[in-house]
Chain A
């Protein structure tokens, strides 16, 4: 099973700033990595798949990069609605697994 470790656990930033979230896999997953955003009481929302492809309807301030074991989600300029918990998920090996999440909070 591929274990995903996200960092930092909590990120405190202000609107307008740039956010950089990391996800590291215990074994290579190639580019088979997705990112989700989850707000309290809501289902996760798919942001990025294939490590760098934006899902339908996702603003271009969200971007993903990386391959193998190290991945990054970048939000170029934070909007008030961006603050939430973000999860990475790998689908390079079964079973599909998620990271423990990074909470992005308003500073």
Chain B
């Protein structure tokens, strides 16, 4: 059974860069699955951030496209998310997710809370 686990700093200052990783166990990031990131601000609905495929191809939400990068590290069996120039509006629980399609998600991590504050 595929298991995903997010990790990150918990707290980031405004204007800095956010870096999160998603460690995958029970399978390889090099298999034919899409690895996605989704976030949820406190008390609000979910927002799709983007995905990466084993080929390295990516697709991002236009609202975040200028600030986000999603990539794979096959040597560590991880997916990573980088978001530059963060603001308080980026405070959210960040989830990584995987599925055989890029557009819906069966496997989820438990989520990691990121707070943007000085």
CB <8 Å contact, B109 and A99: no
Closest to B62 in A: A95
Closest to B65 in A: A95
CB <8 Å contact, A96 and B103: yes
- Determine how close the nearest CB of chain B comes to the CB of A106; give it in whole angstroms: 20
Considering only residues 9-45 of chain B, those with a C-beta below 8 Å from chain A are: 45
Can you list 5 A-B contacts with CB-CB less than 8 angstroms, sorted by A residue number?
Answer: A44-B95, A44-B105, A44-B108, A87-B46, A94-B62
Q: Which residues of B contact A (CB under 8 A)?
A: 45-48, 59, 61-63, 95, 97, 103-106, 108-111
- Determine how close the nearest CB of chain B comes to the CB of A21; give it in whole angstroms: 14
Count contacts on A: residues with CB < 8 A to the other chain: 22
CB <8 Å contact, A32 and B103: yes
Choose among A55, A94, A96, A99 the residue that contacts B106 (Cβ–Cβ < 8 A).
A55
Closest to B109 in A: A43
Q: Compute how far the CA of A34 lies from the CA of B36 in the bound complex, rounded to whole angstroms.
A: 16
CB <8 Å contact, A96 and B108: no
Considering only residues 53-101 of chain A, those with a C-beta below 8 Å from chain B are: 55-56, 87, 89, 91, 94-101
CB <8 Å contact, B45 and A87: yes
CB <8 Å contact, A99 and B45: yes
Choose among B48, B95, B106, B111 the residue that contacts A97 (Cβ–Cβ < 8 A).
B48
Check A46 for interface membership: any CB of B closer than 8 A. Answer: yes
Q: Which residues in A have their C-beta under 8 angstroms from that of B47?
A: 98
CB <8 Å contact, B63 and A98: no
- Determine how close the nearest CB of chain A comes to the CB of B102; give it in whole angstroms: 8
Q: Which residues in A have their C-beta under 8 angstroms from that of B59?
A: 94
- Determine how close the nearest CB of chain B comes to the CB of A33; give it in whole angstroms: 9
